[in-house]
Structure 1
Amino acid sequence: MKKNSYISLLILVISLFSRISAAQENLIQNISARSIISLNGRWNYIIDPYENGYYDYRREAFDQSKSGTGGYFDDKKQEDKSELLEYDFDHSPTLAVPGDWNSQVEKLDLYEGTIWYRNKFTAAPKQGKRYFLYFGAVNYEAHVYLNGKKLGMHKGGFTPFQFDITDRLRAGENSVVVKADNTRKKEEVPTINTDWWNYGGITRDVFIAETPASYISDYQIQLSKGSMGQIEGFIQLSGAEKSQKVTVEIPAAGIKTIVKADTSGRALIKLAVNNLEYWSPESPKLYDVTISTSNDHISDKIGFRSIVTKGKDILLNGKPVFLRGISIHDENPLIAGRARSEGDLRMLLTWAKELNCNFVRLAHYPHNEQMVRLADEMGLMVWAEVPVYWTIAWDNPETYKNAEAQMSTLITRDKNRAAVIVWSVGNETPLSDSRYRFMSNMVTHVRSMDNTRLVAAALEVHRKGFEVIVDDSLGEKIDLASFNEYGAWYWGGTPKELSKYHFNIKYDKPVVITEFGGDALAGFHGDEDTRWTEEYQEALYVSQLNMLSKIDGLRGMTPWILADFKSPRRPHPLYQNFYNRKGLYSETGKKKKAFFILKKFYDDTEKKYNTKSYGASK
C-alpha cells in the first residue's frame, strides 16, 4: 500500500472510531418517563460462535472497513437469485426481549459467545425533537447498529446505555441490530470466575425516547449530607438552549423555586425545608417532584431521608437502625432466567418483606432500575453494588476504567432513590497493593459523585483457628466494617462448633455481615449434622445468629441468600444440579426451615430497636 493511501485509510478509521465513541450520550435521568416507543417483544436472532457476522476471514471487522459494510448488521435481503448471502434475519427464529437466551432455548443453555439480534420497527420522527435508543442492559459487550450504521459499543452486562439517533432515525421502517457477546474475559468486570449464571442477551427493556431539542438531561434532588432540613442538588440541561430558567416544584411540601442555568446548562439548588415527611421502611413517603423549563417538563417520585454513621451506629433520619437484610440475585427462581418484568421483581421484594426485612443487598451487580424504584415504594433500604468480584485484573488501567464507568452509571441512574443507602465497590477481593489502589480509587470516585450515602465493600477476612480477623486495609476508607463469613460451611466444622468462633474487628464502625449461610435442598430432611438437609441449614442459622449477636457493634446483616439460583460452579447431581442451594426459598418458591429462624430473629430485633434496648453510641 502506498504511504498516502495508508495515511488516508488510517484517518478514515480514526474518524470512524471518533464518530462511534461520540454517539453515546451521558445517561439521561429518568428516561423511561419520556414519550417512548417500546422495542420489547420478539427479536429475530442468529447464533454466531465464530463471529462470521462481524469479522471477515482475515479476522478484520466489517464495521471498521473502508465501506463499513459486509456484516450481519447490514440486514441485507437477496436482491437477485445469483447473490450469495449466508444469513437471513427474516427467516431466523425469535427470542423474547427483555430476556436472556439461556433460559429460552434449550441448546443455548450453556452457550457463551455472540448472538445477533434484529428488530424492525416503524417510526414517525418529528421536527424539533431528539431521539435516543436506550438499552436497560445487554450482557456483556454490545455493538449496536441502526439501519446498517454503527451507533457504538458498550461493555457491562448490568448497566444501561443509550445513543442519540436523531439524525439516523427514518420515517417509516427501521432496523436495529445488536451483536451481544457474553464471553467471559480475565480483564473484564466481572472477570472470568463468578458464582452466578452468565445469562447472555438483551436482558432489560429497549425503547426509543423522545425529548425536545433542548431538554432536562440530569438532576439530583436529595437532602444534603447529614442534614434533615436542607434539600440540595442540581439540574443539568442539554441542547442548544442551555442557559434557561428552571422551575422545581414539590407541591405536597409547599416548595416552588426558580433557578437559572449557567452557560453549561447547570443549575444548582439549595432549599431550606422544615415540614418534610422523611422516607423510612415504616413510612416510605415519596413526593411528586416536577422540573420544568420553557420547553421541557419531567416528573419523578422522590423520597427524602438521611443516612449516616456515628461510632458503631447507623442512623436513619437521626435514629439508630438495624439493617434486617437479605441478599438477592436478579433471577426469578420460579421461571428460569433473569427477572423479566415488574411482577418478577415485586415478587422477590415481597418475599424479602415476608422475612420482615427492611434492607436488601442487590448482589453482585446493578439490578434493574425498576427493582430500585420498587424498593423505594415498598420501604426497603438498598445496598447497591458493581461486579468488582473476587479476582479482577487490578493492574490493568482499562479494567479500572471499566469498573469506574459501571459505578458512575449506577450512581447516575439511582442517585434520586431514597432506598439506596449504600454504594458498594466490590465483594471478597483478595489483598494486594494493586487491589488496594484499585479499590481505594473506587471509593474516592464514589464519594466525589455522591457524598450523601454510605460507601462499603464486602471486605476480605482471614482466620487463625476460631478467631476471625477483620483488618483489611480498605476498611479505613469505607463507612462499615462489612464482610462475609461462612462458619460451618466453607470454613469447616458443624453448626455446633460455631460457638467457638470469635471476631477480632479492627475498625470502630458499624458491623454488617454481608454474607453467611449454607446449602439445603428443599424437601431433603435428616438430622442437623447431615449436610444438604433443611435441618443442617436450620441449625446453622440458629448457631450463626447466636454467634453474630455477640459482636459488639453488629448493626445489620444480609445472609446469603433469598432464593436458590443457578450457578455453573455447583454441579453435584443429587443436591445442586447447577443451583446454589443457600436460598431460604427454593427454586419452586418453598420456604425452607431456616426461613422461619431468620424471620423470628428479625421480629425480635425489630422489637428491641423499637423499645430502644439496643444502646446507641454516646
Structure 2
Amino acid sequence: MKRVCILLLGAFLFSLCEAKEIPLLSNIYGRSYISLNGKWNYIVDPLENGYYGYRLTPKKNGFFLNEKVKTSSSNLIEYNFDTAQSMDIPSDWNSKDESLFFYEGTVWFKRDFDTRKKAGMKYVLYFGAVNYNAKVYVNGRKVGEHEGGYTPFNFDVTKYLIDGHNFVVVKVDNKRHPEGVPTVNMDWWNYGGITRDVLLAEVPEIYIEDYQIHLAKDMSGYISGWVKLDTTLSLQNIEFEIPELQLKEFLRTDSSGKATFHLQAQPELWTPEKPKLYDVVIRYNKEVLKDEIGFRTITTKGRKIYLNGNPIFLRGVSIHEEAPFRQGRAWSKEDAVTLLSWAKEMGCNYVRLAHYPHNEHMIRVAEKMGLMVWSEIPVYWTIQWKNKKTYGNAKRQLHDMIYRDKNRCCVIIWSIANETPHGKDRDYFLSSLSKYARELDNSRLISMAMEVTKAVDNVNELKDNMHKYVDILSFNQYIGWYRGTNESCRDMKWKIPFEKPVIVSEFGGGALQGKYGDKTERWTEDYQEELYIQNLKMLDRIEGLSGLSPWILVDFRSPRRQLPGIQDFFNRKGLISSWGIKKKGYFVMQRYYKNKAGLY
C-alpha cells in the first residue's frame, strides 16, 4: 500500500511539471543508443478505462503506473501488464493480433529495461512513429504526448530514469477524427501501434542537436550548411570534416548556438547511376557524430526537370508503407531493400512515397540505391480546411518530414497534398503550406497530386489554382479504370496551360494476381496489362511530361476494398502481389522504362 501511495504522489507531482517534446535528434542512427525494440506487453482498452474514470475524468492511478498485483494486498487492481499478451515492436496490432484486425481505439504498451545513468549525460527517448496519438510514461510519470502517425518524436527522460530497472508505458490511440490529418476517409489501412523503432539515446549534457549540409544554391563550387547545439551558448568550437574532400573546418557558434559555413569544394555529384555519398564527421567536445551525405542540384526550367544541370525523366512508381511477403506496416531496413529493389528492377530512378512520410530506412536505402524520392504529408482528400488546429497539425507534420530528411539528397520533392477538392479555403490552406515548405527548405521542388477528372471533347485540361505555388504540375488520372475504357485512351488529348514540368503521379487499375482472361475483363492481369499499354501511349502525348509514378508497386490493405474473392480488403492496383509475384503490367512498365532510360 505504501508503494502505491508513493506512485500516486509521484504521478501527481510530475503531472504538474510534464516534459514536452524536444527538437528531434538529427541522425538518430548515428547516435549512441540502446534499442527498446522487441517484446512489449499490451492491453486492449476500448473504453479507455486505463485513462479515464467512470465520470470520464483522467485518472491519477491509470495503467501508466504499471501497478503490481499482490495476493496479500486488498488493493483492487484490474489490469496486469506482466501477465498480458506480448507483441513485437515495431509492428501494428491489426496484423499481429487477428482479433484486432479492424480495431481502432486505445491499446496500452509496456516495456521493461535496465539502464545505468552516466554523470554529465542526457537520455532521450525516441519513437520513429506511433499511430496516431501517443501518451508516453516512464516509471509511472508522464513525459509527454505526440499527435501524428508518421513522423518521429522524442523526449528528454533523464530525470525520469533511475539506475537499474525502468519501465516505459505508451497509450496508443489510432481512432480517426474529422479534424485529423489524415481525416476519417482514407484508402489505406489505419495500422495502429508503435510502428517504428523505439530507441533510448545517450547524449552529452550539451550536444549536437541538428545540422544541414548541402551544395550552396547560388555559389558554384561551395558546400554550405550549419551545425546547431541544443543550447544557445556562443563561441563554442565545432569541428566539421569531410575527409575524402580534404575539408576540415573549425566553426564557432553564434548567440543562438548555431555555426554556419561556406566551404569551397568540388564534390562528385550524386546521380541514380552513381549514388555517391561522402563520410561527414562533426565533433563537439567529446561527441562525435557521423553521417553519409550526397550532393546534387535539382531545378526546373520551362517544362523540364534538371538533375545536376542535366534534363531527366523521372521513371517512378508509387509505394505504400506496406510490408512485403506479409501483411502489416513496413518498418525495417530489410522491408525497404525488398520494396526498393523491386522498383529498381522495374527500371525506376525515382519513387513516390505515398501518402505520408515513410520510415527513415526507406529514405536512406533509396539514397544508397540511387532512387530519387517524392515525400508527402497525409493532407489527403477532404480535410477541415477552415480548422486552425487541422492546419497546425498539417504544418507540424510538414515541418517534421522536412526536419528529419533535409540532409538526404535523394529527396527531390516535398508534396503537400493528394487529390484535394478545389475551393478558396483549400487554396489558402495549401498555399500556406507551400510557402512554409519553402521557408524551411528552398533547395528542393514543391508539388502535390492534383486531379484531372473530366474531359470536354476528349480534351483533358489541368485547372487548379495551386499551379502558382508548385514547381511541378502533378496529377492523378484513372482513364480505363474509374472513367472511360482502355480504348478511350486512344482519343484522349491533354492540355497543360502552364510552363512547368508535368508528372502523372498516379494511373493504373486493379488486377488479382493469377487471374487471367480477355483483355476487356476487369480484375484480370490481362486487363491491367492492356490498361498500362494504352495509358502509356496516351500519356506520352502530354507536352512537358517529365515523369510517371503509376499506382502502385505492391497490393496493399484497405478497408474500402471489399469485393469478396477479388479484393478481400486489398487494393489490387499493385504491379506486384503482396506475396512478391509480379503481374503482367509490371513488365509493361519495365519495357517502357528501359526505352525511356535510353533517351536520357
Alignment partner of 1:28 is 2:25 = yes
- Partners of 2:234 and 2:352 lie apart in 1 by 38
Identify which range, 238-247 or 70-79, moves more after superposition: 238-247
In the alignment, structure 1 residue 370 sits paired with structure 2 residue 361: yes
CA-CA distance at 1:607 after TM superposition: 0.4
- 3-state DSSP of counterpart to 1:59: coil
Task: Pick the aligned partner of 1:106 from 83, 98, 117.
Answer: 98
Offset at residue 75 of structure 1 (A): 0.4
Which secondary structure does the structure 2 equivalent of 1:463 belong to?
A: coil
Q: How far off is 1:226 after superposition?
A: 5.5
The answer as to whether partners of 1:23 and 1:152 remain within 8 angstroms in 2 is yes
Counterpart secondary structure, 1:195? coil
Aligned partner of 2:316 among 285, 306, 325: 325
TM-score relative to the length of structure 2: 0.96
C-alpha distance in 1 between matches for 2:261 and 2:519: 58
Partner of 2:370: 379
Matches within 5 A, 1:303-452: 303-452=294-443
Taking the aligned partners of 1:29 and 1:428, their CA distance within structure 2 comes to 31
CA RMSD of the aligned region, Å?
1.5
For 2:382 and 2:209, how far apart are their aligned partners in 1? 36
Instruction: Tell me which residue corresponds to 2:176.
Output: 184
1:208 aligns with 2:200: yes
Residues 394 and 434 of structure 1 are in contact (CA less than 8 Å); yes or no, is this contact kept in structure 2? yes
Taking the TM superposition and a 5 Å limit, the aligned residue runs for 1:156-175 are 156-175=148-167
Q: SS state of the match for residue 42, structure 1?
A: strand
> In the alignment, does 2:559 pair up with 1:562?
no
Residues 295-306 of structure 1 aligned to structure 2 (within 5 Å)? 295-306=286-297
> What letter matches 2:261 in structure 1?
I
Structure 1 distance, partners of 2:143, 2:234, is 25
Aligned residues of 2:495 and 2:542 also touching (Cα < 8 A): no
Aligned to 1:474: 466
Decide whether aligned partners of structure 1 residues 413 and 24 sit closer, same or farther in structure 2, where only a CA change above 3 A counts. same
The SS at the match of 1:103 is helix
Match of 1:615 in 2: none
Which letter maps to 1:267?
A
- Bigger shift: residues 333-342 or 421-430: 333-342
2:14, 2:142 within 8 Å by CA — same for their partners in 1? no
Question: Which residue does 1:66 correspond to in 2?
Answer: none
- Give 1:575 deviation, angstroms: 1.2
Task: Tell me how far 1:338 sits from its aligned partner.
Answer: 0.7
Q: Does 1:273 align with 2:265?
A: yes
Counterpart CA distance in 2 for 1:207 and 1:28 is: 11
Whether contact under 8 Å (1:248, 1:292) holds in the other structure is yes
Q: Could you give the per-residue CA deviations for residues 66-106 of structure 1, whole angstroms, max 9, x where no partner exists?
A: xxx21000100135332110000000000100000110111
Are the equivalent residues in 1 in contact too, given 2:231–2:256 (CA < 8 A)?
A: no
What per-residue deviation string (whole Å, max 9, x for no partner) do you get for residues 1-36 of structure 1?
A: xxxxxxxxxxx99x977843x521011100221111
* CA shift for structure 1 position 224: 2.2
Q: Which residue of 1 aligns with 2:114?
A: 122
Q: CA deviation at 1:165?
A: 0.6
Q: For residue 442 of structure 1, what is the amino acid of its counterpart? A: L
Residue 107 of structure 1 aligns to a residue in which SS?
helix
Q: 1:189 to 1:150 in 2, by over 3 A?
A: same
2:128 to 111, 117, 136: 136
Residue 490 in structure 1 maps to residue 479 in structure 2: no
Tell me if structure 2 keeps the 8 A contact 1:383–1:423.
yes
2: CA distance between counterparts of 1:240 and 1:576? Answer: 55
DSSP 3-state at the match of 1:598: helix
Counterpart-to-counterpart distance in 2, 1:439 and 1:17:
37
Report the alpha carbon displacement of residue 255 of structure 1 after superposing the two structures with TM.
Answer: 1.1
Distance 1:453 1:423 in 2: 7
| Partner SS state of residue 334, structure 2 | helix
Would you say the 8 A contact 2:20–2:145 is kept in 1? no
Which of 273, 277, 292 is matched with 2:283 structurally?
292
**Counterpart pick for 1:572 among 558, 563, 580:** 563
Contact 1:326 1:357 in 2 (8 A): yes
Structure 1, residues 412-461: CA drift from partner, whole Å, max 9, x if none? 10000010000000101111111101100100000000000001100233
Q: Residues 118 and 176 of structure 1 are in contact (CA less than 8 Å); yes or no, is this contact kept in structure 2?
A: yes
Between the two proteins, the alignment pairs up a number of residues equal to: 588
Matched, 1:545 2:536: yes
Corresponding residue number in structure 2 for 1:47: 44
| Aligned counterparts of 1:227 and 1:239: Cα–Cα separation in 2 | 30
Q: Shift of residue 478 of structure 1?
A: 0.4
Distance 1:464 1:17 in 2: 58
CA deviation string 1:560-606 (max 9, x = no partner): 00010110000000211110011110111111111111111100001
CA contact (8 A) 2:233 2:256 kept: no
Please tell me the residue identity of whatever aligns with 1:53: G
**Relative to structure 2, which stretch is displaced further, 162-171 or 231-240?**
231-240
1:211-256 CA distances to partner (integer Å, 9 max, x unpaired)?
Answer: 0111100000011226552211111011475531111111111211
Q: In the TM superposition, what is the alpha-carbon distance from 1:341 to its structure 2 partner?
A: 1.8
Name the counterpart of 1:522.
Answer: 513
Determine the structure 2 residue equivalent to 1:234: 226
Alignment of 1:255-270 (within 5 A): 255-270=247-262
Letter in 2 for 1:608: L
Residue 6 of structure 1 is matched in structure 2 by: none
SS in 1 for 2:26: coil
Residue identity opposite 1:476 in structure 2: K
Cα distance in structure 2, aligned partners of 1:450 and 1:240: 23
Distance 2:240 2:16 in 1: 37
Aligned-partner Cα distance in 1 for 2:283–2:588: 50
Aligned residues with identical type, % of pairs? 50
Q: Do 2:14 and 2:141's aligned partners in 1 also have CA atoms closer than 8 Å?
A: no
Structure 2 letter corresponding to 1:112: E
- Quick check: 1:220 aligned with 2:212? yes
Stretch of structure 1 that moved more, 562-571 or 330-339: 330-339
